[in-house]
Amino acid sequence: MNDLSARAPDAIHVVRSGPPGASPIVFLHALGLDLGIWDAQFAEFAGDRNVVALDLPGHGLSGAPDGAPTFEAIAMQVADTLASLDIASAHVIGISFGGMVAQALAIEQPSVVRSLTLVATSCTFPETVRQMLRDRARATRDGGMAIMAEAHLARWFPEAFRAQHPEVSDRFRKLLHRQDPSFHASLWELVATLDLKDRLTARFAETAIPLMVIVGEDDASAPVAAGQLMCDQARDAVLHVVPKCGHFPPVEYPERFNAFLREFLRD
């Protein structure tokens, strides 16, 4: 990224690029990774947008949170970070865990969210999925990040993409290996509690926040039905399904993803 890096309050690491006076876009990454997953989006939008990406607490160059993490606390750290950058409101894009944080931000601080783009994420889970997530947390504590990294990569990316882009798997694997297993497990325990549907419905009823949802056709972690459920909560929503795509549309199909985002922001 050809950008400016800075430290924000509470040890949140920020990367910023583009014209400072332009309309802000804020990117929130997935669990276990860092802001570098948005490289293709920085390259696309930094020419005419004020582009900001954060390392969420406990990720990348950001400090770990005090105590057990919550979606509300992380969302407030995002809001405080944007305030420190003199950003009153922004188009917020979150993928996977970052999409859950983005939903919490829209619920807790709706004035900060000019529009919401949710990618490969969910607003709630059935109990069977919650138990699977708790089991994943337990496996992380027992087996460590080396084992879990391979399981995540197999779940996130289709086999064909991993074969064609080993550099992506290598990059993501190294990021995952840097995570503390106990903290990583605590995040999965947090994800297992996700239940924002009713609060999201109430927020969209009160505030007409434009919503775009993007899902991968082959994403088992955040299927099309989960994306449709979030769209059903909003008055102004659009759903895009990316064919032959897994859990990371911005990485697997960056040109298509960027086109969806540019059209949404223009409208």
What is the predicted pLDDT for the residue at 3?
A: 38
What confidence score (pLDDT) does residue 2 get?
39
pLDDT of residue 20: 82
**Domains of the chain (ranges, CATH numbers):** 4-124+195-266 (3.40.50.1820)
Tokens for 244? 């032959």
pLDDT of residue 10: 53
Which residues in the chain come in under a pLDDT of 50?
Answer: 1-9
Q: What are the C-alpha distances in Å from 220 to residues 92, 155, 224, 250, 261?
A: 24, 7, 9, 17, 23
What pLDDT score was predicted for residue 227? 98
Alpha carbon distance 174, 217 (integer Å) = 26
The pTM assigned to this predicted structure is: 0.95
pLDDT digits (tens, 9 = 90+) for 173-230: 999 999 999 999 999 999 999 999 999 999 999 998 999 999 999 999 999 999 999 9
In order, the DSSP letters of the chain are ---EEEEEGGGEEEEEES-TTSPEEEEE--TT--GGGGHHHHHHHTTTSEEEEEPPTTSTTSPPPSSS--HHHHHHHHHHHHHHTT-S-EEEEEETHHHHHHHHHHHH-GGGEEEEEEES--SB--HHHHHHHHHHHHHHHHH-HHHHHHHHHHHHS-HHHHHH-HHHHHHHHHHHHTS-HHHHHHHHHHHTT-B-HHHHHHHHHHS---EEEEEETT-SSS-HHHHHHHHTT-SSEEEEEETT--S-HHHHSHHHHHHHHHHHHH-
